[in-house]
Structure 1
Amino acid sequence: MRTRRIAVPLIAAAVLLTGCSIANPTSSEVSLQYGNGSFDSRNFVECENDLDFSDVNDDHYYYPAGQRDFTFGDGDGIDSSPLTSTTQDAQEVKVTGTVKFTLNTDCAEFTDPTGKKWPGGKLQMFHELIAYKYDAAPTEGGKQMKPGWTSLLRNYVGAALDRATDNEALKYPWQKLYTDAAAKAQWERDVLAQLPSVLKTLTLGVDLITVNSVLLQKPSIQPALVQGLTDKQAAELRSQAADVDKQAAANFPGGIAGYQAYQQQQAVNEAIKSGKVQVLPVPQGSPIIVSPGK
């Protein structure tokens, strides 16, 4: 019979005489131990939250116990490229942002919807059904997650997020999401509300990953839409300026004719100030003559 745990005073002697592997998770990690000794079959042993000594050939896999981020967008250090969604008016927008999530590290034994029992709880289920296939977890404590962790997040958190943003973007025309802060905030809340249920469809209906928050940046739109929006805003400003001119002319002494003469004189004054025209000396009492400046 092998000894799983060893009293602290006997640690040095045990290591010297028999050899052992050590599980040493940090305060932000949980470790899964699997038997892999000379007389063991490959099987789950236990979850570990603190220092533990086991057979020399046993394996340990370390998973994060606290909140983590899944980021999607442009630039270095991003977990995924931007997502795309189609709006109510059939326009494609680019979506970037961050999802904050927590891995379910519950190690209490439970039975999943298929009837399979997991003595190591939902963390064991996550490891064996998902993470082990991606080679996602380090086998030493205090290390960074392996490259497979990022691929795992893209295929689960990212895939669920892509579906949720698509479903909710269809409720809005693109201009609402782009220019209306209240509509954009509601879209963000709707995605957060839908994301957990979408994610569970990828994990046999079990909450292996808990979504804590969703932050969506202002979506990016196609250049043609940006130009169209700019042109529309410019037209609206011109229309507003014309309305102001009409109101000013109606109240100006002499009516519209007086207002137009005033504007012409103002234009001449501005041209003289800018040097675009030159004033020529003329006899007193004659009309002012201007000529183009050099």
Structure 2
Amino acid sequence: MKFRRTSAAVLAAAMTLAGCSIANTTASEVALQYGAGPLDSRTFVQCVPTGKREVNDVNDDHYYYPAGQRDFTFSADQGADSAPLTSTTSDSQEITVSGTVKFTLNTSCEKFTDPSGKEWPGGRLQMFHELIASKVDAAPTDGGEQMKEGWKTLLRNYVGAALDRATDNEALKYGWQQLYTDTTSKAKWEKDVLDQLPAILKTLTQGVDLITINSVLLQKPGIQPSLVSGLTDKQAAALRNEAAEVDKQAAVNFPGGLAGYQAYQQQQAINQAIKDGKVQVIPIPQGSPVIVGAK
């Protein structure tokens, strides 16, 4: 009888252990632990730091978030976190904006009180999870997994929305051609967007720095095809003007002046046409005019 009771106790212990939850963070992630009994509400328990493995209560859940720098990409490339953004320049031209924002999630678990007076025992990470991430199901519940699809939605709604506003505000300071062809103007536009982005992002997170912006890289903006064509025509016209100016200076110094230079150019054109086989020279007796006939 004693053996039976001991075996039952061991079996019960094994079943309990098998049903336990496990916190298992990698070196590049942290986790939040929440617990609740069958009749209790779910409550925050603790933060789990990087590289930690521990066994927790059977009713506990863990939500994993990235520790360290991450990217938000916005472009037409497959796999980007967002489609390209659009902005309007000072000369009322729409441009498309692609690039990358490097950011770090604020994983501080130090207890704090937010601007509304609410206290967060799990710090800014708990606030981020409960007010933002949990609403779009962004975090995996097992360590070492990829972020859920809701993570991209979260990035678009916060980093993307703030970036869209910042690029719009700053693009209005420049003409489209400055951003498209002038590297100095483009670099300043990029820096101004970086400077403005953190403050705009904080307006979306109740004034708390839940996400830290590290850098912004903006590609050369996309412009309307008609503008590309116009720019090409303008550049071609500039080259023609430069060539005409060269011809003018050459004519001034040519023996015989402008008339002599024009005669020289005409003769060069005829010689080239003969060489290319575009005209036919008919042999005639010596002393007669030369007749040149087109093929």
Tell me if TM exceeds 0.5.
Answer: yes
- The amino acid of 2:24's aligned partner reads N
Instruction: State how far apart, in whole Å, the 2-side matches of 1:179 and 1:210 are.
Output: 31
- Counterpart for residue 55 of structure 2: 53
Measured in 2, the distance between the counterparts of 1:177 and 1:276 equals 46
What do the CA deviations read for 1:240-289 (whole angstroms, capped 9, x no partner)?
11111111111100000000000000000110011000111122233332
Identify the residue that residue 37 of structure 2 maps to in structure 1.
37
Query: Counterpart of 1:249?
Result: 251
Aligned to 1:7: none
Q: Which runs of 5+ in 2 are unaligned?
A: 1-10
Contact 1:80 1:154 (C-alpha < 8 Å) held by counterparts: yes
> Aligned to 1:201, what secondary structure does the other structure show?
helix
Residue 75 of structure 1, CA deviation: 2.1
Q: 2:271 aligns with which of 269, 273, 278?
A: 269
**Structure 1 gap segments, 5+ residues each:** 1-11
Q: Post-superposition shift, 1:72?
A: 0.5
Compare 12-21 and 128-137 and name the one that shifted more: 12-21
1:16 CA drift (Å): 4.5
Change (3 A) 1:15 1:92: farther
Given that 1:37 and 1:56 are in contact with CA atoms closer than 8 Å, whether structure 2 keeps it comes out as: no
Q: 1:111 to 1:237 in 2, by over 3 A?
A: same
Aligned residue identity for 2:28: S
2:8 maps to none
1:178-203 CA distances to partner (integer Å, 9 max, x unpaired)?
Answer: 00000000100000000000000000
CA distance in 2, matches of 1:53, 1:216: 45
1:63 equivalent to 2:65? Answer yes
* Residue-by-residue CA offset, 1:224-251 (whole Å, 9 max, x unaligned): 1111111111111111111111111111
3-state DSSP class of the match of 2:264?
helix
Distance 2:14 2:72 in 1: 40
Matching residue's letter, 2:63:
Y
**TM-score calculated relative to the size of structure 2:** 0.93
Aligned residues: 282
The letter for the 2-side match of 1:244 is V
Most deviating of 77-86 and 281-290: 281-290
Match of 2:230 among 223, 228, 231: 228
Cα gap change, 1:84/1:24 in structure 2, threshold over 3 Å: closer, same or farther?
Answer: same
**For residue 287 of structure 2, what is the aligned residue in structure 1?**
285
- State the partner residue of 1:191: 193
Q: For 1:71-130, what per-residue CA distance to the aligned partner results, in whole angstroms no more than 9, with x for missing partners?
A: 001021011111001111111100000001011000110111111110000000000000
Residues 63, 137 of structure 1: 8 Å contact kept: yes
Work out the CA distance in 2 between the residues paired with 1:57 and 1:31. 16
Per the alignment, residue 137 of structure 1 pairs with 139
Letter in 1 for 2:257: G
- Structure 2 distance, partners of 1:15, 1:161, is 52
- Identity, % of aligned positions: 74
Instruction: Report the Cα distance in structure 2 between the residues aligned to 1:137 and 1:101, rounded to whole angstroms.
Output: 17
Distance 1:40 1:60 in 2: 17
Q: In the TM superposition, what is the alpha-carbon distance from 1:40 to its structure 2 partner?
A: 3.8
Kept in 2, the 8 Å contact 1:37–1:55? The answer is no
1:148 aligns with 2:172: no
Specify the SS of the correspondent of 2:31: strand
Distance 1:27 1:173, change over 3 A: same
- Hey, what's the Cα distance between the residues in 1 that align with 2:219 and 2:160? 16
Deviations 1:143-199 (A, max 9, x none): 010000000100100000000000000111111000000000010000000000000
C-alpha separation in 2, matches of 1:289 and 1:184? 60
In structure 1, the residue matched to 2:176 is: 174
Matches of 1:262 and 1:288, distance apart in 2? 17
Equivalent in 182, 206, 209 of residue 208 of structure 2: 206
